[in-house]
Chain A
Amino acid sequence: MRVWSLLKTYTVMVYIFMFAPILVVLLLAFNSSQFGGFPIEGFSLRWFVKLYENDAITRAFRTSLMLGALTAIISTTLGILAALALVRYEFRGKDLITTFLITPVLVPETVLAVGLLIFLRWLHMPRSFGLLLLGHSIIALPFVVLVVQARLTGIRRDYEEAAQSLGASPLQTFFQVTFPLMLPAVFAGALFAFTISFDNITATVFWRPSGMETVPTQIFGMLRNSVSPEINALGFVMICITVGVPLLAGMLARYFSRKKI
């Protein structure tokens, strides 16, 4: 099939387009040159050391990690409750509610950011970490609802009914049957929310109080002149966190579920 191999080549080229620039960042993180670009002069870890010694970046890192973790907790809690309602119950206006739950995605993020900021201004409240946290949570919420809803649909009701017919109370059923079954969905939602928060720049630029930086806004600020080698090293670390952690979690989950069976 000549056409088929053409399609295959095309697909491979699109994948190269998607990943080549990212691989270049990963590669340049180890370049010993004092400039953040080509040519590659040698292998060195010094930019990682520099990164570790850079107070502004480590502070931004701590802010981002904290923000991501708290965002994950808030939006996953809200998202799971909402997803349970959508999956488990039939009620009037469900379609409308589903649409309403994804409105934070439908509103352009720039507009969402300005709107919340103006509301806060009207309330005479300054920008704060709390604003970032609430804002990130609302941005992540629709994604968490969709991800958790998709996973919950796969859980069969039979187990709960079996538990209850064997005499478990509704609370016992929830904590001993439903919740453990939901756990993968909870983790998937939380990881997604963390990544969305950790990655956000569009709204964060508007919401952050002066003097507070997250990793993306810190990089954005450092970019004004050129790409410094530290940014490459930082990119390497960020990719390790946001790609490595979910992959590892996925593999561990698979490993343990295999072990049980």
Chain B
Amino acid sequence: MMQSDQSADKRPWALLSPSLFAITILVVIPMAFILVYSFYENVDLAVDRVTFQFGNWQEVMTDGYYHTAIWKTLRLSVIVTVLAAILGYIPAYFIAMTKFRDKWLLLLLLILPFWISFIIRTLSWIHIFGNQGALNGLFRLLGLTDAPLSLMYNEFTVIIGFIHVFLPYMILNIYVSLEGIDENLEPAARTLGATPWQAFREVTLPLSMPGLAAGCLLVFVLTGGSYVTPLILGGPGDFLFGNLIYDAVVSELNWPMGATLSFTLLFLLGLVVVLYSRLMGLNQLSKAFR
């Protein structure tokens, strides 16, 4: 069975090598190429000159347009993360603490959105807020309005769309860490004279922090890196940093600029991940799968 000399065992490395190779080729090396390309110069549509110059970086550093996009992205990501945490904590707590016989059903329903197409879930909000949506239909039925109210394609619908898609990540992560708490702790705090609220605030809430933090990190990074949701649910002014990358690469075919913007986004979101892993460690993130 197991070889006695573990450190010299090559078998785990043989098993790991295909994955490590694939990630190196398909993720690590391309990241290096993004950096290299950011120093190239865009001459014409889809034509770039191989050179080493700081023009793209200078533009990103000095042009107010890019700064606005960074602030917008930061603001929106914070709003979505905070709202998702507020919306998600109580259901996670309820599922973890309930003695309800059909707890498995609540958990299954929580996993279910992961299996439902992202784009369908996102566009479904057009059916709620759109001109032919449920709300306008209701208003018309009640005789409140003559013409449909325009409730769609603004920052609010973008935020709703993001929360809708990312909320399950938040709930699941909080649930996992709440589930791991010794269930005798809260009653113990109670017998020692704590009110239910105190017992929650002093015992359960701090112990569930790792899950809450993992959920917040995921939601923040996923929101900060996306560009599709604003395109579907937002107006012309609702763009994220990812949309600038999309425009540079897909519409303008300006590869060097696309590379510069990509590296900027990688750096900014990477900073958040590094900060988190310093504080919490990355292994909390994988606990949701157990």
Contacts and interface: CB of A to CB of B under 8 A. Distances in A.
A and B pair up: yes
Interface of A: 3, 7-8, 10-11, 14-15, 17-22, 24-25, 28, 35-39, 77-79, 81-82, 84-86, 88-92, 95, 97-104, 106-112, 114-119, 121-122, 134-135, 137-138, 141, 143, 145-147, 149-150, 153, 160-161, 164, 195, 198-199, 201-202, 205-206, 215-216, 219-220, 223, 226-227, 231, 235, 238-239, 242-243, 246
Contacts of A37: 126-127, 130-133, 137
A138 to B, nearest CB: 4
Contacts of A198: 117
Interface stretch (B54-62, B203-211, B280-288): B280-288
B192 interface: no
> Which of B30, B90, B93, B221 has the most chain A CB within a 10 Å cutoff?
B30
Contacts of A145: 19
Interface string B200-225: 00000000000000000000010011
Given A138-B27, A227-B126, A118 B33 contact: yes
Contacts of A90: 6
A148 to B, nearest CB: 9
A95 to B, nearest CB: 8
B82 interface: no
B266 interface: yes
B118 interface: yes
Name the residue among A15, A100, A111 with the largest chain B CB count within 10 angstroms.
Answer: A111
A193 to B, nearest CB: 13
13 contacts: A18-B113, A18-B164, A37-B132, A81-B16, A82-B16, A98-B286, A102-B282, A107-B266, A119-B33, A227-B127, A239-B117, A243-B115, A243-B116
Contacts of A8: 94
Contact of A114 (B11, B141, B232, B249): B249
Interface in B248-275: 249-250, 255, 258-259, 262-263, 265-266, 269-270, 273
Contacts of B123: 25, 219, 223, 227, 231, 235
Given A36-B127, A37-B132, A111-B265, 15 more contacts: A14-B167, A24-B134, A25-B127, A81-B19, A92-B7, A108-B225, A109-B225, A114-B258, A116-B30, A118-B255, A147-B289, A235-B117, A239-B120, A242-B115, A243-B116
A161 to B, nearest CB: 6
The 4 closest A-B pairs by CB, nearest first: A37-B132, A108-B225, A115-B30, A38-B137
A75 B223 CA distance: 25
Nearest to A105: B285
A145 B125 CA distance: 33
B127 A21 contact: yes
B33 A100 contact: no
B290 A202 contact: no
Given A18-B167, A21-B124, A111 B262 contact: yes
Interface residues of B, number: 91
Interface of B: 1, 6-7, 9, 11-13, 15-16, 18-20, 22-23, 26-31, 33-34, 37, 87-88, 90-91, 93-95, 106, 109, 112-121, 123-128, 130-134, 136-137, 140-141, 164, 167-168, 171, 196, 221, 224-228, 231-232, 242, 245-246, 249-250, 255, 258-259, 262-263, 265-266, 269-270, 273, 282-283, 285-286, 289-290
A90 B7 CA distance: 8
B266 to A, nearest CB: 5
B254 to A, nearest CB: 12
Contacts of B15: 81-82, 84-85, 89
B90 A146 contact: no
A223 B229 CA distance: 12
B283 A118 contact: no
A107 B196 CA distance: 41
Tell me which of B19, B20, B95, B140 has the highest count of chain A C-beta atoms within 10 A of its own C-beta.
B19
Contact of A146 (B88, B118, B286): B286
A79 B227 CA distance: 28
Contacts of B116: 22, 238-239, 242-243
A110 B289 contact: no
B289 A24 contact: no
A102 B283 CA distance: 10
Contacts of B90: 7, 10-11, 14
A238 B120 contact: yes
A261 B9 CA distance: 38
Contacts of A134: 22, 26
Contacts of A201: 118-119, 228
B228 A202 contact: yes
Contacts of A104: 23, 26-27
A51 B125 CA distance: 22
A39 B134 CA distance: 8
